[in-house]
Structure 1
């Protein structure tokens, strides 16, 4: 499965602070986001296409695989934001940037029940199978923030909250993992259902709308330029899905796992202000 995504992106509220920053100012920021997922996942749940052979061999149509789990690595990506000061303290911000890329790794053995379970087993934790997939994440966001202190203060802390929409694309499976799925799951299931021998693998991750919470500090450099650093928490979850289909399009199996990603995002951003004064 491919899970490569995520934004980027768009997770942090960084408060631009230049001298005499005030209502009506527009601020552009560029810099870097550092993303550290605090992930957990449910065991993979698999549904198989019904077949006479599967019934004879005692293979359940739906089964869970205890001990299986998925994890995502840390990532970083360039960031770009645009802010508008509604007042001297309240700001509306749009965040975007280069989508972040992630690697999805696995642990545990996927194996159905019954005497033929060994024929359909796939080792998610196998060295040759990891990372299972790479994925790109897109996460545009809109945020509201409040900047403390006087507009002429050199240092201004801020807090913020927002909403981010995340989706994933460009999912690329590990070739060894893909081959293992085809040989150990696909070919057996295709034979059992009379769908031929050729199979195909498709993977995806669900999109999500998630809240962002942020704190940070901005430091004035001169009348136009400032530097800010922030830490954000994103309550993000997704469901990964891997489907095996036959050449005729018949669905042979589908495995799903819910991932709570909940990344902590730190950022360092350089700001430039447009406005009078």
Structure 2
């Protein structure tokens, strides 16, 4: 729909001279006052994004206060998840550490009990984000000159492959508590209630590492389609001034496809999907141990389209009435949103959704050679 809208806009603007102003000498397709109506140039286009990364927002399907049977779990994972800032936490850490020292590396489900999970429903990962890298491509600029000074320019070029750099590590802020012995049975529940009533629950607090967005040099890549339409005013006069500065303003449209995610980050997100599903399956211990679940997680990356204003300053230099050199600097206040989905291929259920705003804000330089006709 967005692509159709932009195509309609271009078509309307290009037909403007031949319809609405057909009887005007300024908008006629015939040459007038010593200038040529059409020009086209090609050259080197270099885009330098100026924006900075924004935190990644994460949502999962594990609601606050979700209760999950822990099941068998390694003693090392339990120790890593215990909040030792409380007396209860320190007691349980020392107790489980003693079992670990005696060679009991697994805490059986009959002892681990049931956990109440908080912190995973949604959070913002501070110090993380995505940034677009510099890019070079062949630029093409086509102008229709309404008058010797006023023209309409369409900017285009070969859509470049843009690297998206990652920033920071994403952690899941797990918190909650575990009620030992409450394994779901009547007796276990009774014993667990007694333990809980005297303040004996195991307090949980752990920042679980999900992924490093900086791994592999880039988090993702995408092909960028960045056409723009600008209205230009050029100073000077054809046939009199060889060097003619100009200013312009208009709108740029950004569309991204062929998105590819870093394979290491993708693998980490699949593991995170298994962690979420294990909690739903009543296997919180397996989630802590990083074991696979009943799900078949698949990762999808999407980027939103966007329109943005663009301004330009530049100049042309005439070699002769037809051939000229052109150079310009443009800036666009542009941002879009990257969205990541982790879903279970078996059921279609969404396990994790993450999104972040990418401030692109490109500074675009262009140097080319053109021809007027």
**TM-score (normalised: structure 1):** 0.85
Matched, 1:26 2:38: yes
Q: Deviation of residue 72 (structure 1)?
A: 1.8
Q: Is the 8 A contact 2:221 2:259 kept in 1?
A: yes
> For the structure 1 residues 175 and 60, does the alpha-carbon distance in structure 2 shift closer, same or farther, using more than 3 Å as the test?
closer
Alpha-carbon distance in 1 for matches of 2:133, 2:342: 26
Task: Decide which of 145, 154, 176 is 1:94's aligned counterpart.
Answer: 154
Alpha-carbon distance in 2 for matches of 1:174, 1:117: 26
1:100-179 equivalent positions in 2, closer than 5 A: 100-113=160-173, 114=175, 115=204, 117-119=206-208, 121-125=210-214, 127-128=215-216, 130-152=217-239, 153-179=241-267
The equivalent residue for 1:213 is: 311
Q: Is the 8 A contact 1:26 1:85 kept in 2?
A: yes
The equivalent residue for 1:6 is: none
Q: What secondary structure is seen at the aligned counterpart in 2 of 1:187? A: helix
Q: Deviations over 1:197-251 (max 9, x none)?
A: 3100011111110011000111001121000100000111011111100121111
Q: Is the 8 A contact 1:143 1:161 kept in 2?
A: yes
Q: Is the 8 A contact 2:163 2:218 kept in 1?
A: yes
Matched, 1:78 2:138: yes
Give RMSD over aligned pairs: 2.0
Q: Deviation of residue 53 (structure 1)?
A: 4.8
> For the structure 1 residues 64 and 150, does the alpha-carbon distance in structure 2 shift closer, same or farther, using more than 3 Å as the test?
same
Q: What secondary structure is seen at the aligned counterpart in 1 of 2:351? A: strand
The equivalent residue for 2:350 is: 251
> For the structure 1 residues 23 and 116, does the alpha-carbon distance in structure 2 shift closer, same or farther, using more than 3 Å as the test?
farther
Alpha-carbon distance in 2 for matches of 1:23, 1:205: 43
The equivalent residue for 2:279 is: 192
Mind listing any 5+ residue stretches in structure 1 that lack a counterpart?
Answer: 1-19
Q: Is the 8 A contact 1:190 1:199 kept in 2?
A: no
Moved more, 151-160 or 97-106: 97-106
The structure showing larger relative contact order (alpha-carbon pairs under 8 Å, at least 6 residues apart) is 1
Q: What secondary structure is seen at the aligned counterpart in 1 of 2:268? A: helix
- Number of positions where the alignment pairs a residue of Structure 1 with one of Structure 2: 252
Q: What secondary structure is seen at the aligned counterpart in 2 of 1:40? A: coil
Q: Deviation of residue 24 (structure 1)?
A: 5.5
Q: Deviations over 1:133-177 (max 9, x none)?
A: 111111111110000011121100000001111111100011111
**TM-score (normalised: structure 2):** 0.64
The equivalent residue for 2:53 is: 41
Structure with max Cα Rg: 2
Q: What secondary structure is seen at the aligned counterpart in 1 of 2:118? A: coil
Mind listing any 5+ residue stretches in structure 2 that lack a counterpart?
Answer: 1-31, 69-114, 176-203, 282-292
Q: Deviation of residue 60 (structure 1)?
A: 3.2
